[in-house]
Amino acid sequence: MIQASTHSPIAFQWDSWYESVGGRTIQIKEVDEYLQHIRDFQYPRFTGEVNPEQIQFASPEEASNHIKHLARTLGADEVGVACIEPSDIYKGRHVTEPFAIVVGQKMLWREFQQVPNERSAIECLRVYFTLGEVVIALAQEIRKLGYACTVEHPIGDSDVLHVPLALKAGFGELGRHGSIIHPTMGPLFRLGSVITNMPLATDRPIDAGIAKFCDTCKACRIYCPADAVPDERSPEAGKDHLGNDRYMIDTGRCFPYFATDNYCSACLVVCVYNHKEWARDFEGFKTSLFPDLQLKTSPHPADPEVEKHWYPLRKR
């Protein structure tokens, strides 16, 4: 059994945070439908019988290749494998599986032409749902092979932190805006995981110069309507996978904006790294290179009186 580290962050307390900004106010029919579908049709499929006849692979590398091929066939745009360490588990939680298969799925640039917007909000939920289908189907295939596994849904109450696992699995580097930047998908994708006891070969983190690029680019900081993106790295926040001090978003500034303006996403869509590559429509839809930003005045920061992860109070 792997227990969370004493330094692990607590799982985000969504209800308390929403209470601190006056409740959930975003009302979009399609968003509510996706949430309902996830609760009604996906949660009941998280578990299943494990085949008692276990398939043996010649090596962990062969097992990993098989699983990655499966994940891509099922709809993942990126997949990698990482060992689970105590720091990858939320405070107070534990897991029994030592490996995480991290999967990512792109969000469509055509839905982020105007941001924040109902269309971009719906696209976030659409991909939570479709990526949820990928992790559920992948878990079913792993059980058929005779190995126990657990679904860590992209939007569910997950035991593990998808972001550090994805960094270890080679997805990209941590950007100033706090999200992973993938070399070709940029920051416009979502993450989920399946954790398993199947012996797998793990991937390596990458150093493509992305974190270094962030040290000179400040586009996300300039455009953030809530002034939540930092100028400097925070030594108090610990290191990223390359040993850099992390950039830490001021969550108390970001959340009130995110929660009241269509889940914002401004920092993602203005991200400059390899923008020409990832900010285009791969199916030929006519899109603009830069989104139309419709930013409002930010509400007051909120810092609910609950146990929460550490974040800097920017300019407060």
Q: Does 167 bind ligand SF4 (CB under 6 A)?
A: no
By beta-carbon proximity to ligand SF4, the closer residue of 52 and 243 is 243
Q: Does 188 bind ligand SF4 (CB under 6 A)?
A: no
Q: Does 115 bind ligand SF4 (CB under 6 A)?
A: no
Q: Does 177 bind ligand SF4 (CB under 6 A)?
A: yes
Q: Which window, 99-107, 160-168, 249-257, 285-293, contacts ligand SF4 (CB under 6 A)? A: 249-257
Q: Does 104 bind ligand SF4 (CB under 6 A)?
A: no
- The secondary structure of the chain as a DSSP string is -EEPPTTPPPPP-HHHHHHHTTS-----HHHHHHHHHIIIIIGGGS--PPPSSPPPPSSHHHHHHHHHHHHHHTT-SEEEEEE--GGGB-TT-EES--EEEEEEEEPPGGGGSEES-HHHHHHHHHHHHHHHHHHHHHHHHHHHTT--EEEE-SSS--SB-HHHHHHHTT--EE-TTSSEEBTTTBT-EEEEEEEE-S---------SSHHHHHTT--HHHHH-TT--S-SS-EEEEEE-TTSPEEP---HHHHHHHHTTTTT--HHHHT--TTHHHHSS-TT-----SS-EE---PPPPP---SS-------TT-
Q: Does 162 bind ligand SF4 (CB under 6 A)?
A: no
Q: Does 182 bind ligand SF4 (CB under 6 A)?
A: no
By beta-carbon proximity to ligand SF4, the closer residue of 95 and 270 is 270
Q: Does 249 bind ligand SF4 (CB under 6 A)?
A: yes
User: Considering only residues 118-157, where is the footprint of ligand SF4 by CB under 6 A?
Assistant: none
Q: Does 213 bind ligand SF4 (CB under 6 A)?
A: yes
Q: Does 176 bind ligand SF4 (CB under 6 A)?
A: yes
Q: Does 254 bind ligand SF4 (CB under 6 A)?
A: yes
User: Considering only residues 18-47, where is the footprint of ligand SF4 by CB under 6 A?
Assistant: none
Q: Does 229 bind ligand SF4 (CB under 6 A)?
A: yes
Q: Does 107 bind ligand SF4 (CB under 6 A)?
A: no
- The 255-274 contact track toward ligand SF4, x by CB under 6 A, reads --xx-----x-xx--xxxx-
The residue ranges that bind ligand SF4 (CB under 6 A) are 175-177, 213-214, 217-220, 224-226, 228-229, 249, 254, 257-258, 264, 266-267, 270-273
